[in-house]
Amino acid sequence: MTDVDLPLGHQLSLSGKFYRGRALGGLGGGIGRSVLFSSDPGSPYSQVRALNSAGGWAQLKYRPANKLEFNGAIGQDAPYMADMRAFPNPQAYGDPALIKNQGSLVNVIYRPRSDLLFSAEYRHLKTFTIDNSPYNADHVNLMMGVLF
C-alpha cells in the first residue's frame, strides 16, 4: 500500500492511495471479499483461496479561496481474474460474479464560517461481472455540516 499527497502549488493538490495484496476484503479491497471457496463454505472439503486484488484512488483538489474547494476523484478495485476463475463455481460471502468496481466523483465544498459547511457532489459508480457486463449507478448528494 502507498499513500500519495503532492502539493502542486498554493491552490492545487493531488492525493491518492494505491494497494495490492491478498485477503484485503476487511480493508475495502476485493470488492469486500477476502477469500473464495471451491464449494459450500461450511463443508470441510471446500478449498479456500485468498483473493488477490489491486486498486486505489486519486483525487485532484483545487482551492481558489479558503472558503471554497473543488474536488475530482477516480478509483477502482479489481480482484485478479486468475483467482476469480480458480474454481468452476466459486462461493463467497457476497456475489462471486462481481469482479471490478470503478467510481468517479466531482464535488464542491463551501465553508461560509469555520464551523459550517455546504457540499454538493455527483458520483458515478460502475460494477462489472465476470462476463464483463457493466452495471451503472449515478448518485447526487447535497450536504450541510456543522463542525464542533
- Average pLDDT over every residue of 63-74: 96
Indicate the number of domains in the chain. 1
pLDDT (0 to 100) of residue 41: 76
Cα–Cα dist 93/96, whole Å: 8
- Read off the pTM: 0.80
Residue pair 28/57 in contact (Cβ under 8 Å)? The answer is no
Q: What is the pLDDT of residues 79-121, one digit of tens each?
A: 888 887 777 677 766 777 788 899 999 999 999 998 999 999 9
Looking at per-residue pLDDT, the higher value among 127 and 94 belongs to 127
Residue 3, classified by CB atoms within 10 Å of its CB into exposed (0-12), middle (13-18) or buried (19+), is exposed
pLDDT of residue 76: 92
pLDDT confidence of residue 15? 97
